[in-house]
Amino acid sequence: MPLNKAEKRENVSDDNLTKMLKIIPLGGLGEIGLNMMAIEYGSSLIVIDAGLMFPEDYMLGIDFVIPDMDYIRQNKSKLSGVILTHAHEDHIGALPYLLREINTPVFGTAFTLGVVRHKLEEHGLLSAALLNEIIPGNSLSLGEFDLEFIRVSHSVVDGVAVAVRSPVGTIIHTGDFKITHTNIDGMITDVNRFARYGEEGVLALLSDSTNVEKEGYTISDREIGETLEKITSKSRGRIIVALFASSITRIQQMVDIATARDKKLVFNGRSIEATVEIAKHLGYIRFPQGMRIDVEKIANFPDDRIVIITTGSQGEPMSALARMASGIHKQVKIRDGDTVILSSKFIPGNEKAIAKIINNLYRRGADVIYEKISDIHVSGHAFQEELKLMIHLTKPRYFIPIHGEYRHLVLHARLAEQTGIPKSGILLAENGRIIVFDENGGRLGDSVETGRVMIDGKGIGDVGKSILKERRALSEDGVVAVNLAFDEDTGIIVYGPELVSRGFVFEGETGHLLQDAICVVLEVVEDVAPDTPNRIEIIRQRMQADLRKYFNFTIKRRPVILPFIMEI
């Protein structure tokens, strides 16, 4: 039987009381995504979240990015488990890559684990996974830590904050949250529990900084529902709603609207179909029997009786919405009278892709509703007044801004100072910087190695800066391959030189550019005598250098030069 809190405190030795409580951010501080936080005391280590981020513009060919988990590997003997705050990819996406190496217990709410099970099944890890369901309001003992899970409202159902009691004091990790009293799914942030912790005493508050730039309060889901109802009532054709697959509350709103107007419902897109099945099984989505139809059957009903819920609101090139917009979707052809609603915010970096889809939808006759022209999305992250309220509720001795780019962390730190937290009580850290608490208080300590590990296909971490640099060069100026063969005995050219370009020039438009480049190669060969030691390698290096100079001088381009030299 695990010790209760009182028994634990009585058995803590004086030596243990002098140990340090360490908070080690491994991702999510100074960036959006990659959320992963290690909390360590003595021989106990827990991890809160294991998220990914989607590739930035310069990461050509990369599927996604996960945090460097070396610190966890080095301390795996201490690891008691991973706690997941909610089911978004930036909080659970890296979990399969952690469990491949360390099969530690995983704790999450019912919906979060439902999504995780689907993900682990795809990775072939489900049968061995140690998944444990947690319920908001319940407690859990892991090593030296006692944890309580506090209900929070977010843009995905079943989110929790985590209160972590340690021998040094209690810290609260908010996860992603907002504070609203009108949630239609009933999952309202438990402000009373946060307040009770504030009365008991909170050593440190780790609070979501994502929307710190936004003044006031988040708007309610009810307001969004009213807007969606108005749009639906005015539409004379099909309604097509694109959103994040995890937006269960929004999906239920559209289900309710469709039910009230006797419309048929279609879910289209692999991720949304899987998520809806999970949510339906858990009772988070409800719709009348016979209301849902397969996408192949939409032609059997009038357009004004069809509601299609799909993915692709971020302009993903192979999403269902992108295929509809480009006219290559097999079952859904956009036409005059269709109304397409993009019920999500534009994530920075996706604007061009989203704009392309919107333009294509308009070309095909659809009316498009998106966040810039109508309130059809509500953020799941707290605005400034809600962030202040969280600080007032918990009354922390120390404040640590988390989840956001560096400017978000700085602005959140300033906001905390405005609420009365002294500068000495604000610990502004970035990834890898250890936050230390002991008998002397809290401070920033040493750093551990952190970073980003890029996932490309089945490759994990095998693409680094040098590979990305080569990919950028290939994407910008193309490649020129040089094929050349020498007689092994005489050193005389027996084949070539032959130059083949890809993504560099269209030969018909550049005269004799490649033919003249052959002369450059021949000059290099003539300058290196047949009896020169290491002749082939010298020719290869000279050929690359001289061709780069030639192309840069003649056409101001720097293609990648690939010499293929053989001795026969």
- φ, ψ of residue 44 to 5 degrees: the values are -110, 135
The CA–CA distances, whole Å, from 23 to 246, 417, 469 equal: 29, 21, 34
Four-CA torsion 56, 59, 61, 63, nearest 10 degrees: -50
Element of type H or E holding 38: strand 36-41
Q: Is residue 30 classed as helix, strand or coil in its secondary structure?
A: strand
Q: Tell me 323's DSSP state.
A: H
Write out the two tokens for 530.
């047949």
Distance CA 65, CA 461 (A): 9
Of 180, 185, 116, 135, nearest in space to 156 by CA: 185
- List the catalytic residue out of 381, 403, 408, 412: 381
381 an active-site residue?
yes
Of 257, 329, 262, 268, nearest in space to 295 by CA: 268
Q: Is residue 412 classed as helix, strand or coil in its secondary structure?
A: helix
Write out the two tokens for 516.
């003249």
What is the tally of helices (H) and strands (E) in the chain?
A: 17, 27
Place of tokens 């007689």: 487
208 an active-site residue?
yes
- List the catalytic residue out of 190, 208, 221, 456: 208
- SS3 sequence of 113-178: HHHHHHHHHHCCCHHHCCEEECCCCCEEEECCEEEEEEEEECCCCCEEEEEEECCCCEEEECCCCE
Q: What is the DSSP string of 437-499?
A: EETTEEEEEEE----EEEEETTEES---HHHHHHHHHHHHH-EEEEEEEE-TTT--EEEEEEE
Residues found in the chain: 568
Q: Beta 159-165 vs 145-152: how paired, if at all?
A: antiparallel
Distance CA 220, CA 379 (A): 9
Please name the amino acid found at residue 251: I
Strand residues in 178-317 grouped as ranges (E): 202-208, 239-242, 264-268, 306-310
Which residues are tagged catalytic? 208, 381
